[in-house]
């Protein structure tokens, strides 16, 4: 599938586990099928943070891509996350994704980049270029927040887009509107088409004012239809409709994206379980299941969003 300029909604999918801890393939297939069938969804993103990829071994990551490929069947793209702390492993994971039929990879910066990659820009360039050379797949570059230490500064991000032609999109997750705007303008000025996918989950509506090409978000694993409604409204300039969609999204955003942040996707699994769309919500250790009180808070958020008719007693 041609990934050039591909926008729309890209849900970051979850990885369901069976009670014994193995990947629940049937539940994974159904979860991905539900996402792929949502109007406005253009790509399935697997093996990212939302999919607990760091808790999966290489064989399991390949399995997830394989199931996604079966579900997508050419109707939507499959984008496989590549999360690794060294170049050799990142290249191997990228090759695995290609072998299983992914259409692109979502390339995460290694964790050690947080210690000063922007001061050693050649290191980031060599890393991305090496992965690009290891696989024929297009690259979606993950721009994390500046607060995480893993976000590339604007000059480095622009240089990566200019010098690595394999980059076709950027998942733009800068934590401030100013950084997001600077990066978006720099990407658009890089001299070739590179799609910008907003992922600023606590201010998605505001980020749409800059007219990004799409949205890539973990909350899309729960409510892809709401993201699609909000994005479509923003694209046609119908801001009252976009705000109405955001009003539905707000209680879920508040419920999912709160401290501790390590539980955000765990909470999404709980939400899908409460909606009857995931048989077992438990994450992989060391993550722990959501406590009963927070489970009820998630139930209340689902009700406020109009996804449950009433909060159970």
Q: Is residue 271 part of a domain?
A: no
Domains of the chain: total = 1
Q: 13-28: per-residue pLDDT in tens?
A: 999 999 999 999 999 9
| pLDDT score of 159 more than 50 | yes
pTM of the model: 0.96
Q: 211-252: per-residue pLDDT in tens?
A: 999 999 999 999 999 999 999 999 999 999 999 999 999 999
Q: 160-194: per-residue pLDDT in tens?
A: 999 999 999 999 999 899 999 999 999 999 999 99
Q: Is residue 164 part of a domain?
A: yes
- pLDDT confidence bin for 311, thresholds 50/70/90: very low
In three-state secondary structure terms, 139 is: strand
**E-strand stretches of 33-147:** 43-46, 77-82, 104-107, 139-143
Q: Is residue 138 part of a domain?
A: yes
Q: 72-121: per-residue pLDDT in tens?
A: 999 999 999 999 999 999 999 999 999 999 999 999 999 999 999 899 99
| pLDDT score of 5 more than 90 | no
**What is the reported pLDDT for 47?**
98
**What is the reported pLDDT for 147?**
83
Contact 267, 256 (CB under 8 A): yes
In three-state secondary structure terms, 295 is: helix
Q: Is residue 43 part of a domain?
A: yes
Q: Is residue 15 part of a domain?
A: yes
Residues 180-187: contacts with CB within 8 Å, 24+ apart? Answer: 180/207, 180/210, 181/210, 182/154, 183/143, 183/154, 183/157, 184/210, 184/212, 186/154, 186/155, 186/157, 186/158, 186/161, 187/157, 187/158, 187/161
Q: Is the dihedral of CA 126, 194, 207, 105 positive or negative?
A: negative
In the chain, pLDDT over 90 holds for what percent of residues?
A: 93
CATH number of the domain bearing residue 171: 3.20.20.70
Domain extent at residue 223 = 8-233
Q: Is residue 295 part of a domain?
A: no
**What is the reported pLDDT for 169?**
98
Residue among 85, 65, 75 nearest 23 (CA): 65
């Amino acid at each position: 599938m041609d990934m050039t300029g591909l926008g729309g909604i890209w849900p970051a999918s979850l990885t369901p586990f069976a009670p014994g801890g193995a990947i629940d393939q049937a539940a994974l297939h159904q979860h991905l099928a539900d996402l792929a069938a949502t109007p406005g969804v253009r790509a399935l993103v697997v093996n990212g943070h939302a999919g607990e990829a760091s808790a999966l071994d290489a064989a399991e990551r390949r399995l997830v891509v394989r199931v996604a490929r079966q579900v997508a069947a050419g109707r939507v793209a499959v984008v496989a996350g590549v999360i690794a702390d060294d170049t050799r492993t990142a290249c191997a994971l990228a090759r695995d994704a290609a072998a299983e039929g992914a259409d692109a990879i979502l390339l995460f910066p290694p964790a050690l980049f947080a210690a000063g990659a922007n001061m050693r820009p050649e290191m980031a360039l060599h890393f991305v270029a090496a992965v690009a050379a290891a696989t024929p797949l297009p690259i979606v570059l993950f721009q994390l927040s500046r607060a995480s230490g893993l976000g590339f500064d604007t000059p480095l991000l622009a240089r990566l887009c200019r010098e690595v032609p394999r980059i076709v999109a950027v998942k733009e997750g800068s934590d401030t509107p100013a950084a997001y705007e600077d990066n978006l303008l720099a990407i658009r000025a890089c001299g070739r088409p590179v799609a910008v996918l907003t992922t600023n989950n606590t201010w998605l509506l505001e980020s749409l004012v800059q007219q990004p090409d799409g949205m890539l978000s973990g909350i899309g694993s729960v409510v892809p239809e709401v993201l699609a409604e909000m994005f479509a409204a923003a694209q046609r300039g119908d801001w009252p409709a976009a705000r109405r969609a955001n009003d539905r999204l707000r209680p879920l955003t508040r419920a999912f994206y709160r401290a501790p942040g390590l539980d955000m996707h765990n909470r999404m699994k709980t939400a899908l379980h409460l909606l009857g769309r995931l048989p077992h919500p438990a994450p992989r250790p060391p993550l722990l299941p959501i406590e009963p009180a927070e489970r009820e808070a998630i139930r209340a958020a689902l009700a406020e969003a109009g996804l449950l008719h009433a909060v159970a007693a």
